[in-house]
Chains A and B, each alone.
Chain A
Amino acid sequence: MEVAAATGSGRSWRTSAAASQLVWAAETVVGTILFILLLQFLFGFSIVDASLWEIYWPAFAMGVWGTLGYSAAIVPLSVVLGFTIGIARISRARVVAAPFAVFIDFFRGTPPLVIVIFAFLIGPSLLPARFQGRTLGLAVAVLALAFHSASYQAEVFRAGFQSVPRGQLEAAQALGMGPWQSMAHVVLPQALRLSLPPLGNELAVVIKDTSLLAIIGAIDLFGVSQDVQQNLLFTPGYDPRWFLIMWTAVALVYFVLTTGMTQFLLFLERRYHVRGIEAMSL
């Protein structure tokens, strides 16, 4: 059964939403360029300084690639985990719900930086000796970051589930639908729509949190840039303004990644918008 109504008004509303999102994207690009031009003017540097990029480029490319890789691993993993834990949390069976409440409290109540270090130190020792090595420590740390974000996302999804009025579940049951059918066709479609805005928030955070992996030697944008910065100090004829250029570029990459993610979720939010399931706007 198609969920979207093929009403004329619905379609035109969506078109205008897509248009406004395009306008917004254009505004952001222009705004960012203007902001960088202003920075360059104020501090007297050029972001396309050839002498820096000659040194920085290989590391930069590798770093961007690494950050993309870690994000691509952590984001889907944490969403799947967070969603699963969110469902488990609303279970009426305490044996199911209680352990996950502890899980959430633990991972939400510890700084992600500490979690990363801890995972790196302890993780490998939990496995047989032949698996030991730096890569394994990193893998465990990636998993730990995913857990950390999943604990926040679980609460996002739980709030989504619990925002669906109980009466609708009763109505589904009254039609003869079983628990899983009611979940799939009545609760889930509404809970997911309600979860999208706070989920975008959390995914933006976790993309930036991948930079914490640099402390245990991950090759990501933050890590490689720090290495390059150290080396620049010993490069003959180095220019202090190079640092400014580098970190502007780094910030720009994280900005593009997180904004891309939040815009994608905003697109989903608008694509599946239904009157009556929405945040209030004034």
Chain B
Amino acid sequence: MIRLERIHKHFGSLHVLQGVSLEVAKGEALVIIGPSGSGKSTLLRCVNLLVAPDQGRVFIDGVHVNHPSVTPEWVRQQVGMVFQSFNLFTHLTAIENVMLGPVRVKGWDADRARSKAKQLLARVGLAAKADAYPAQLSGGQQQRVAIARALAMDPKAMLFDEPTSALDPEYIREVLDVMTSLAREGMTMLVVTHEMGFASSVASRLVFIDAGVIIEEGRPEEVFQHPKQERTRAFVSKILR
């Protein structure tokens, strides 16, 4: 479903991604771990072209998407994204946040978008908060609205960029539960996270990336318990504790 071929990205003199190749099969959940500054967020952003790769090819559902003939707007409609800092639209209520994409991008009428948004908010357990503004929601609730907002575009795959890192501990569970049920329903997911429990129970594969290079990849329990590389071992021991 998602295939990255030898992706390179520079920010100035910084070589952030150094030829990363990765494939996520349809219905698979793949977790990326790695130290901060390792390039994992940039890699995720290369998939929906929020960051344009300098070199290499990105395929989504067989389409070569970082090709001049494909618009970034089209690519981003195929792949939903959830951010570390939620990024809900402050001036819109929860349901308006979810409706905005279908109404403005897909051109749906408001009634159709509203009934879809209601369903999605119910699915993330927030039917009662439809008319609340982001400032009136907890971090966990905001992130669940953000997931509903991304799902409203009926994406073929979902990208999660450290979705629980900015959350207070008591709200992490509710967000992971939503993500787990999404994965169980067969959503293709690429997740940057350090939630080991989530990775072990949901991810089919885990990739460790450091300094713009994939160091190791395998089944989550393998990588956690028997890392083959020294760098992986050092990192895993820090986050497992």
Residue positions of A touching B, CB distance < 8 A = 1, 3, 5-7, 165, 167-168, 170-178, 181, 185-186, 189-190, 193, 274-277
Contact = CB atoms under 8 A, between A and B. Distances in A.
A275 B50 contact: no
B85 to A, nearest CB: 5
Given A173-B76, A176-B105, A193-B91, A274 B133 contact: yes
B110 interface: yes
B100 A185 contact: yes
B133 A177 contact: no
B5 interface: no
A81 B105 CA distance: 30
B241 to A, nearest CB: 30
Range of interface residues on B (Cβ < 8 Å): 35 or more
Interface of B: 48, 50, 72-74, 76-77, 80-81, 83, 85, 87-93, 96, 99-101, 103-105, 110, 113, 131, 133-136, 146, 149-150, 153
Contacts of A165: 85, 87, 90
A164 to B, nearest CB: 8
Given A5-B131, A175-B101, A185-B104, A170 B87 contact: yes
A175 B149 contact: yes
Contact of B85 (A167, A172, A177, A277): A167
A171 B97 CA distance: 11
A1 to B, nearest CB: 5
Contact of B89 (A6, A168, A178): A168
Contacts of A171: 81, 83, 87-89, 146, 149
A178 B83 CA distance: 19
Contact of A1 (B74, B77, B100, B131): B100
A5 B133 contact: yes
A228 B91 CA distance: 52
A277 B91 contact: yes
B77 A3 contact: no
A165 B84 CA distance: 13
A1 B81 CA distance: 23
**Across the A-B interface, the 8 shortest Cβ-Cβ residue pairs:** A276-B135, A176-B77, A171-B87, A167-B87, A175-B101, A174-B81, A176-B76, A275-B135
Contacts of A276: 90-91, 133-136
B135 A181 contact: no
B105 to A, nearest CB: 5
B91 A190 contact: yes
26 contacts: A1-B110, A1-B113, A3-B91, A5-B131, A7-B131, A168-B87, A168-B89, A168-B90, A170-B87, A171-B81, A172-B89, A173-B76, A174-B48, A175-B100, A175-B150, A178-B73, A181-B104, A185-B100, A186-B89, A190-B90, A190-B91, A274-B90, A274-B133, A276-B91, A276-B135, A276-B136
